[in-house]
Structure 1
Amino acid sequence: MTTVFSRIITGELPGLFVWQDPEIVAFLSIAPLRPGHTLVVPRREVDRWTDIDGPLLTRCFEVAQAVGQGVQRAWNAPRAGLVVAGFEVPHLHIHVAPVWDMTDFDFSKAKQEEDPSALTGAAVKLRAALLELGYEQARGCTSGA
């Protein structure tokens, strides 16, 4: 069965992308822990991170590191948090967000963003930071992939 993330990747469902390459995409979470909360997702459907092949897992974490650098820069955060939980959608995804302390990892506080302009603004801000850092994979990202 096709996952919701695969439907976002193909453009069937909307998504605010900040990274696109042949293997990996990254788009903003619609229920962010903090502004800039991004999901790094392989294009190929793999449910659990423990089941993915090593080179693709490595690539996922390389992109997560780049996105982490971007969220730190864009929000002037002391850290970029990274979580692999895997319960929400059966398609591997890495949560990356700007964080200031451990309370920023409380998923019970994540709520669907009601203001679409807040998500759009966060995507524009993160794309700009990624481009400043030299990551061309952010260029041309909007909706769909």
Structure 2
Amino acid sequence: MSSIFTKIVLGEIPCYKIAEDDKFLAFLDVNPNAKGHTLCIPKQEINKIFDIEDELYLGLMQFSKKIAVALEKAIPCKRVGMAVIGLEVPHAHVHLIPLNEMDEMRFQNKVSLTKEEFEAIVKAVQSNL
């Protein structure tokens, strides 16, 4: 069965898309730790990050770096943190989280954003890509 991320890749589930190319997709987390929390995924469904072949893994890191640089320009923060965790979705993914305090990396405190706020973040980040 396809993961929720594969359904997003296929367009079966909508997302707040930041960027994509033929191998990767970046979109806003709809249950964010902080404003601008973004997920970067390979379009190919692979369960675990370390099961990704080397070339695709390095490509995911390069893609994530590009998105992180744009995020840091678009969202006021001290830095963008990166986490590769998560058991909830069996599809490798990288979390990029604009940080102003360490609690934003703990995946316990979530922020609520409106549809308009999500859309404004997408435009702001895209303008810095």
Give the shorter-chain TM-score range. over 0.9
CA offset digits 1:19-59 (Å, max 9, x no partner): 11010010000011111111000000001111110111101
CA separation in 2, counterparts of 1:40 and 1:86? 13
Is residue 33–residue 107 contact of structure 1 (8 Å, CA) maintained in 2?
Answer: yes
* TM-score with structure 2 setting the length: 0.94
CA separation in 2, counterparts of 1:126 and 1:114? 16
Q: CA RMSD in A?
A: 1.2
Letter in 2 for 1:28: L
Where does residue 116 of structure 2 map in the other structure?
117
Residue 69 to residue 61, structure 1, CA distance change in 2 (3 Å): same
Cα distance, 1:114 vs structure 2: 5.3
Considering fraction of residues, name the structure with more helix. Answer: 1
Paired residue total: 129
3-state SS of 2:27 partner: strand
Greater relative contact order (CA < 8 Å, ≥ 6 in sequence): 1
Identity %: 27
3-state SS of 1:126 partner: helix
3-state SS of 1:65 partner: helix
Where does residue 64 of structure 2 map in the other structure?
64
3-state SS of 1:95 partner: strand
CA separation in 1, counterparts of 2:103 and 2:97? 12
3-state SS of 1:41 partner: strand
CA separation in 1, counterparts of 2:120 and 2:107? 22
**1:30 corresponds to 2:38:** no
Where does residue 127 of structure 2 map in the other structure?
128
Spell out the pairing of 1:91-110 with structure 2 (5 A cutoff). Answer: 91-110=91-110
